[in-house]
């Protein structure tokens, strides 16, 4: 699977993002009841912040995921862990699949981490998924994230997890395994 990336255009992409964040599977995104105008405003704020960026991941010209990167020291994580130079925060939302494809989410997350670590200033990727989002914790561990601390954020209790460049590289070297839920995965 090959992905390309482009910045979110809040005006043009708000209807698409609104359709994604309103779905039940995206409940951890916290925007299920947001209006189209609220989604557009959220992404206008993100894109103009100077420390938070929203990117659409494309496959064959079609948007298939949303990735946000952010400065953890300018987020609700500030003061909740010992941030280091080279930390970058990341959020990921995969689009609802047109057809299930085994290993797709793993491929998306790998592409996102490859892209983030392509920046030589990035040393660690920081995530803070909802503590009850068990599927993402499994995927994060598979790709090299290590749970750091259970933290209380304004909207959730979350597992602050960190992935170093080395942890990601080592995870990528693990043999492929089979699971009943995703087929061939790392």
Write the DSSP symbol of residue 2.
-
- Over residues 106-137, the pLDDT tens digits come to 999 999 999 999 999 999 999 999 999 999 99
pTM above 0.85, yes or no: yes
CA distance linking residue 73 with residue 70, whole number of Å: 9
Q: Residue 1 has what pLDDT? A: 86
Map out the domains of the chain with their CATH numbers: 4-185 (3.40.630.30)
Which residues have a Cβ under 8 Å from the Cβ of 34 and sit 6 or more positions away? 18, 21, 22, 42
Q: Residue 175 has what pLDDT? A: 64
Q: Residue 79 has what pLDDT? A: 92
Token readout for 107 is: 């491929």
In the predicted structure, residue 176 carries a pLDDT above the cut 70: no
In the predicted structure, residue 14 carries a pLDDT above the cut 80: yes
If we measure between CA atoms, which residue out of 9, 11, 7, 34 comes closest to residue 21?
A: 34
- Over residues 43-56, the pLDDT tens digits come to 999 999 999 999 99
């Amino acid at each position: 699977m090959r992905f390309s990336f482009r910045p979110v255009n809040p005006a043009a992409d708000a209807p698409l993002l609104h359709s994604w964040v309103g779905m039940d599977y995206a409940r951890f995104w916290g925007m299920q009841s947001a209006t189209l105008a609220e989604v557009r405003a959220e992404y206008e704020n993100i894109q103009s912040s100077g420390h938070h960026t929203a990117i659409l991941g494309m496959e064959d010209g079609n948007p298939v995921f949303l990735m946000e990167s952010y400065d953890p020291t300018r987020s609700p994580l500030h003061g909740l862990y010992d941030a280091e130079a080279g930390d970058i925060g990341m959020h990921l939302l995969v689009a609802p699949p047109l057809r299930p494809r085994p290993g797709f989410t793993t491929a998306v997350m790998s592409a996102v981490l490859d892209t983030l670590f392509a920046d030589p200033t990035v040393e660690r990727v920081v995530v803070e998924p909802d503590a009850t989002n068990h599927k993402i914790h499994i995927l994060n561990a598979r790709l090299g994230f290590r749970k750091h601390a259970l933290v209380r954020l304004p909207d959730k209790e979350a597992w602050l997890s960190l992935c170093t460049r080395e942890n990601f590289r080592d995870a990528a070297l693990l043999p492929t395994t089979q699971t009943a839920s995703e087929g061939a995965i790392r």
